[in-house]
């Protein structure tokens, strides 16, 4: 059977109608939000165990995402498949947990089969359903109404608007819990150490800096040839002029050298102290690497020397080091 020719206008009209229907479904949730939602947040905050999310079919897919969002925003959670629960996975649910069961109709056979067991264990049950009079709703301690007027599917059959509503309600629950726990950016970073935010909030200067012999440095009495060797050998493009007390008194860069040559200066007699820029920008080892990046940007520089708590030179880093660490 051949497909009818594509009608671009009809395709776009159907897509736009989908957005309209699903937007209306989410706004409908907003209008119905009330005491049950507040009670659900309160009960979850009191739980010593985990939020066990359950759902079949498309609701199950949504449930996996909700469990992941909860877990990454400070609320311990896991997904348990209702069908597998009947064959042993029910043992994952403990009396210290709370169950969030998701079903648009509220009449999923797989959920219905295990709900009495969950209730006998004394595990609190939150239902997310569009079936206010369903079996799931009757078993539940708290009912979150995720009902929609119609699906975006033109046959009103495929879960579309209903799953969008479930997803939005799950996100609202996670964000409300996040806020109630005082869960901040650093907490989020610890849950996402491999992500960009994690790198920015967990990576310190000490993690990415050059140290030891990799830090180009010369004494104030060093000549220009020694300065040039220090910059060249370490490939840093600059050298610290370090005093006897271990502090960086100044900095000399390859740009400074180029300007001296262009000016026709005699490079045989000056010392590092004569040509250096005093008071170089520094940052402490315990600062965040992202703070180093911000300091470089603020002052229009590409390198920093790193100092310890007493101001002694212990390292160096540049924008290349920060890019390599994926901080910038």
Query: What was the pLDDT predicted at 193?
Result: 52
Residue 186 has pLDDT above 80, yes or no: no
- Binned at pLDDT 50, 70 and 90, residue 191 comes out as low
Backbone angles phi, psi at 100, to 5 degrees: -110, 105
Q: Give me the residue label for tokens 């998701």.
A: 102
| 197 has pLDDT over 90 | no
Give the torsion sign (CA, 80, 82, 83, 84): positive
Q: What CATH topology corresponds to 8-183?
A: Rossmann fold (3.40.50)
Q: Which residues pair with 210 in a beta bridge?
A: 316
Q: Give residue-wise pLDDT tens across range 127-161.
A: 999 999 999 999 999 999 999 999 998 888 788 99
pLDDT of residue 106: 93
pLDDT at residue number 268: 86
Best-predicted range by mean pLDDT among 96-110, 192-206, 256-270?
96-110
Give the per-residue pLDDT at 187: 58
Q: Render pLDDT for 315-324 as a digit per residue (tens, 0 to 9).
A: 999 988 888 8
The pLDDT score that the predictor gives to residue 188 is: 61
How far the first Cα of the chain sits from its last, in Å, is 54
Q: Give the list of residues 6+ apart from residue 24 with CB closer than 8 angstroms, or none.
A: 149, 161
> What share of the chain in percent tops pLDDT 90?
60
Query: Sorting pLDDT into bands at 50, 70 and 90, what band is 1?
Result: low
Q: Please name the CATH architecture into which domain 205-324 falls.
A: Roll (3.10)
Phi-psi region of 264 (alpha: psi -120 to 50; beta: other; left: phi over 0): left
The reported pLDDT for the residue numbered 282 is 94
**Which pLDDT score is estimated for 203?**
82
Q: Does the pLDDT at position 181 exceed 90? A: no
Distances (CA, A) of 259 to 31, 254, 275: 68, 9, 11
For residue 134, what pLDDT is reported? Answer: 94
Distance (Å, whole) CA 210 – CA 44: 46
Residue with tokens 């739980």: 47
User: Tens of pLDDT along 37-91?
Assistant: 999 999 999 999 999 999 999 999 999 999 999 988 889 999 999 988 877 788 8
pLDDT for res 324? 84
Using alpha carbons, select from 290, 323, 286, 321 the residue that is nearest to residue 306.
286
Confidence class of residue 196 from pLDDT cuts 50, 70 and 90? low
Report the chain's mean pLDDT, rounded to a whole number.
89
Band of the pLDDT at 184, cuts 50, 70, 90? low
Confidence of residue 308 (pLDDT cuts 50, 70, 90): very high
Per-domain boundaries in the chain: 8-183, 205-324
Reported as a single tens digit per residue, the pLDDT across 226-248 is 998 888 888 888 999 999 999 99
What span, in angstroms and rounded, lies between the C-alpha atoms of 204 and 253? 25
Work out the number of other CB atoms within 10 angstroms of the CB of residue 293: 18
The residue with tokens 């491999």 is 194
- Tell whether the model's pLDDT for residue 289 goes beyond 90: no
């Amino acid at each position: 059977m051949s497909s009818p020719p594509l009608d671009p206008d009809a395709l776009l009209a159907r897509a736009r109608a989908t957005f309209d229907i699903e937007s209306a479904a989410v706004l409908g949730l907003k209008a119905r939000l009330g005491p049950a939602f507040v009670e659900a947040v309160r009960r979850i905050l009191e739980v010593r165990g985990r939020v066990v999310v359950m759902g079949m079919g498309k609701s199950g897919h949504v449930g996996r995402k909700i469990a992941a969002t909860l877990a990454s925003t400070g609320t311990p959670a896991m997904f348990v498949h209702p069908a597998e629960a009947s064959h042993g996975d029910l043992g994952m649910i403990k009396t210290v947990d709370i169950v969030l069961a998701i079903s648009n109709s509220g009449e999923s056979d797989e959920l219905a089969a295990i709900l009495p067991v969950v209730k006998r264990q004394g595990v609190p049950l939150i239902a997310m359903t569009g079936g206010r009079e369903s079996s799931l709703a009757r078993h539940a301690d708290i009912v979150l109404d995720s009902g929609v007027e119609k699906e975006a599917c033109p046959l009103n059959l495929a879960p579309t608007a209903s799953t969008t509503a479930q997803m939005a309600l799950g996100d609202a629950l996670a964000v409300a819990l996040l806020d109630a726990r005082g869960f901040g950016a650093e907490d989020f970073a610890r849950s996402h150490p491999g992500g960009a935010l994690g790198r920015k909030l967990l990576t310190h200067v000490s993690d990415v800096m050059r140290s030891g012999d990799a830090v180009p440095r010369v004494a104030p009495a060093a000549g220009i040839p020694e300065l040039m060797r220090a910059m060249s050998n370490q490939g840093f493009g600059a050298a610290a002029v370090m005093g006897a007390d271990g502090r960086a008194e100044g900095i000399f860069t390859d740009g400074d050298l180029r300007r001296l040559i262009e000016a026709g200066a005699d490079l045989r007699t000056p010392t590092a102290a004569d040509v250096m820029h005093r008071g170089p920008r520094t940052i402490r080892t315990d600062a965040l690497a992202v703070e180093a990046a911000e300091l470089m940007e603020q002052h229009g520089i590409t390198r920093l020397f790193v100092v310890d708590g007493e101001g002694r030179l212990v390292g160096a880093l540049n924008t290349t080091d920060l890019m390599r660490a994926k901080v910038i």
